[in-house]
Amino acid sequence: MAEEHDGGGQVSCMERFQSYLRTKKGRILAAEIVLCVIVFICYAASAYGGYTAVAICEAAFTSIFFVVYMMEFDKQFNVVHWPWSDLFRAVLGAVLFLITSLITIIRHGDGASIAGGVFGLCVGILYVYDSYLCVDAVKRSRHSRANAAPPNDA
């Protein structure tokens, strides 16, 4: 029978992955990564492959944030304000995907680029929803930092 934990009593990477996928943020980030890969495949198969860079970059950035949140590095590295960084990533992804998807749907006529544009609109809407959730996280982090500040009695 396989052990649930590794030898040091710590949670394994696969267990962290599975438990993070059960969270709302984990499912959203995983869906963004999968849709970015689908958009990349569609754009790469089309005659106009210049829009693949958006899908590649956003898939890479989203994967980095997935790993950071999954491994709880956001709690260890306090140098970066993770909610603001995540908000910036989500807003940038939403804007880039919505613009490039509309361009490919309107201007380019081959089927693969239109399919990439449709999937791009879907992932753009998902990035908009992720941005909305990130705004709530930023508000919570501001509120928790304001309450955690020590009072000035001096």
Best CA proximity match to 94, nearest among 68, 125, 122: 125
Tell me the pLDDT band of 2, cut-offs 50, 70 and 90.
very low
DSSP string, 98-153: HHHHHHHHHH--SHHHHHHHHHHHHHHHHHHHHHHHHHHHHHHHHHHHHHHSPP--
Compute the mean pLDDT over every residue in the chain, rounded to the nearest whole number.
86
Domain boundaries, the chain: 15-141
Distance from chain centroid for Cα 110: 29
pLDDT tens track for 85-130? 999 999 999 999 999 999 999 987 788 999 999 999 999 999 999 9
Count CB-CB contacts under 10 A for residue 111. Answer: 11
Looking at the predicted structure, is the pLDDT value of residue 6 above 70?
Answer: no
CATH code linked to domain 15-141: 1.20.1270
What's the whole-model pTM score? 0.83
Q: Given a cut of 70, is residue 35 above it in pLDDT?
A: yes
Residue with tokens 């950035």: 61
Opening angle at CA 130, ends 128 and 134, nearest 5: 115
What sign for the dihedral angle of Cα 112, 114, 116, 119?
A: negative
3-state secondary structure of 82: helix
How many whole angstroms separate alpha carbon 135 and alpha carbon 130? 9
Mean pLDDT to the nearest integer, 48-60 = 89
